[in-house]
Chain A
Amino acid sequence: AQSVTQLDSQVPVFEEAPVELRCNYSSSVSVYLFWYVQYPNQGLQLLLKYLSGSTLVKGINGFEAEFNKSQTSFHLRKPSVHISDTAEYFCAVSDRGGNKLVFGAGTILRVKS
């Protein structure tokens, strides 16, 4: 069975600082990987996804993530965060044959001024 581990439950960071949200997955087969964001009182929104090809994936709002197969990781990064990036971020995995997403527990990013 697949699983996703988000290593930090909360990440506080000052505005304009860089941030990395960590995600590790376990799977015996090739996977697709996703990052979703949930702003307060809203549903989830897709930030970016890795399906194949380049291991560096760029998403919306200046976020990017790097797929590392040897380390089974898919960490999310942003070089300079804004107050408006305060939200909960979820990493998710889907196997190649499946329609189902398995989500991590989420990481709350708190951007301070």
Chain B
Amino acid sequence: DVKVTQSSRYLVKRTGEKVFLECVQDMDHENMFWYRQDPGLGLRLIYFSYDVKMKEKGDIPEGYSVSREKKERFSLILESASTNQTSMYLCASSLSSGPFYEQYFGPGTRLTVT
């Protein structure tokens, strides 16, 4: 079974802090994704990566950056957290590119910025 794990289920940070959200997958998947989930808005893609050190902006990249130094790990970075970044963050991975390859999701990190 594919397993996507996220470092924290719940996180509380203060405005202006630098925040790291970590995601690890154990199936040697090429692609990894970060989404943000908000009520009434569904999931929106922040960034994705199709290879180590490669990244591409999604639909809402502003205020976020990412890092992928190893194939199994994809980090989302909030350089200076703001209250409007309070949300649920979901990581996903897929074996390769294209819609034929299912995206597998982690359980999510609920981030609260106060």
Contacts and interface: CB of A to CB of B under 8 A. Distances in A.
Contact of A51 (B4, B31, B42, B100): B100
A59 to B, nearest CB: 12
Interface string A90-113: 101010101111111110000000
A79 B45 CA distance: 33
A105 B98 contact: no
B4 A103 contact: no
A100 B105 contact: no
A44 B40 contact: no
Contacts of B102: 46, 49
Contacts of A80: none
Contact of B99 (A6, A90, A94, A104): A94
A32 B99 contact: yes
Contacts of A9: 40
A54 interface: no
B42 A105 contact: yes
A28 interface: no
A45 B107 CA distance: 10
Contact of B107 (A41, A94, A99): A41
A84 interface: no
Interface of A: 4, 6, 9, 32, 34, 41-46, 49, 51, 90, 92, 94, 96, 98-106
